[in-house]
Amino acid sequence: MADIIRNFGQYICKNALQHPAYTRKLLLAGYRAFGLRLALAPDRRLPASRQFSARHINRTVTRMLSHPEKAALVSVFMPCELLEAMDIVPMCAEMYSAFLCGAWAESVFAESAEAEGIAETFCSYHKVLLGSAYAKILPAPAMVVNTSLLCDANNLTFRELAEFYQIPQYYVDVPKDQNEESVRYVADQFRELTAFLEDCTGKKLDPGRLRENMVRSRDTVNSLLSCMEYRSSRCLPGDVTSELYEIYLSHNALGTKGAAKYADLLLHDFRNAQPAKGIRLLWLHTIPQWQKPVRELLNFSDRCQIVGCDLSFEGLVDIDPDQPYESMARRLVFSRWNGGQERVDAALETARALHVDGVICFCHWGCKQTMGLSGVLKNQLEKQGFPTLILNGDGCDRRNASDGQTSTRLAAFLEMIEKGKHHG
């Protein structure tokens, strides 16, 4: 199957710039075909929750590409209950680029962006997204809705694409101060966003639908938090791609029936999972799910498992369905990634709660925040007894990663932890 996907990606790269309309249809057909495979022949090594997440995310990507005229281009941190309540499809920028990478088709678009003057050091998720737009592969969405939280690239990419497509943009500004005044400030922006969406679509928001979405968000968050109790002592079979899917399901998908079902299935799987075994790892930041040594060492391994990724937990805050705007605002303002020390504290708390043996801090290409904070994370985690590996690489562009270096460093880190556990 890997050879088929790789050949498919090479064919996409060969035709993308000369035949964009054909290539776009081919990509969508490829994703649909892969979705059929997931439905008919799922990976039986995965528990039910993670089989479901693979199918659901695939349907989500095909949905946003099939109906771009009903879509809003969003960043992964953007709460989308309001969009879903108005039948607007969230088009997650990072997930779109991750799927291009999964199809072995990202390089032509990264190069296309660089040819237009985008810096080589720009975040690869955003660079691939921009290059896909310049190559006329990314279909024009109806609008752009994004937030300032965390990512510098947000402030450049989404404004550029709004101008490129000549479509309206709404920008949610998130203050650094984590207090109720900031919550009110952001909540008022979500109220203004409602008017913006009504103006763009010509439809009125149904408050009842929004409340239904917020109820599902609350229930989903509660189920995901309940899973944390089991993550500390159980071992659930999984792969790095499933960890990446959970990032989307705990962010843009909150409020949907799919995310609620996933969280319920995941909680059921954890309750019935085997006791913990092997090396337990906490992963910080995005995951290079495409990279061979990462997959070989961490997928379905009795030796070691990722028991949590901080990106899946950073925004799980209390939700009040009767205060939808404040609840969405609170998720942004009180994000554990809204500030450097907050992110360090969250990593320490999670490492303790999950009883991990080690931490991997992944420095994704172009992410200045993570690279700048990595030394502090390593220092403070190791002071508390958690061996930490700073792993440089790229979550989305094969050109910026070395399989040999990644394999050597990961293997050495695991051996070090094993020796420490043996002598401890």
Q: What is the pLDDT of residues 291-335, one digit of tens each?
A: 999 999 999 999 999 999 999 999 999 999 999 999 999 999 999
Query: Does residue 423 surpass a pLDDT of 70?
Result: no
Tokens of 419: 């020796």
pLDDT digits (tens, 9 = 90+) for 200-245: 999 999 999 999 999 999 999 999 999 999 999 999 999 999 999 9
List the alpha helices (DSSP H) in 232-298.
Answer: 240-249, 257-271, 292-298
Pick the closest to residue 57 from 49, 46, 45, 67 (CA basis): 49
pLDDT digits (tens, 9 = 90+) for 64-100: 999 999 999 999 999 999 999 999 999 999 999 999 9
Query: Does residue 153 surpass a pLDDT of 70?
Result: yes
Long-range contacts, 175-181 (Cβ 8 Å, 24+):
175/333, 176/338, 176/339, 178/333, 178/334, 178/338, 178/339, 178/342, 179/333
Please give the Cα distance from 168 to 259 (Å, whole number). Answer: 28
Please give the Cα distance from 41 to 394 (Å, whole number). Answer: 30
Please give the Cα distance from 398 to 101 (Å, whole number). Answer: 8
Tokens of 266: 């995941």
Residue 71: strand, helix, or coil = strand
Please give the Cα distance from 335 to 345 (Å, whole number). Answer: 12
Residue with tokens 């090594």: 45
pLDDT digits (tens, 9 = 90+) for 184-202: 999 999 999 999 999 999 9
Predicted confidence at residue 421, as pLDDT, reads: 75
Sheet holding 89-92, edge to edge: 89-92, 71-74, 143-147, 169-172
pLDDT digits (tens, 9 = 90+) for 355-386: 999 999 999 998 887 888 999 999 999 999 99
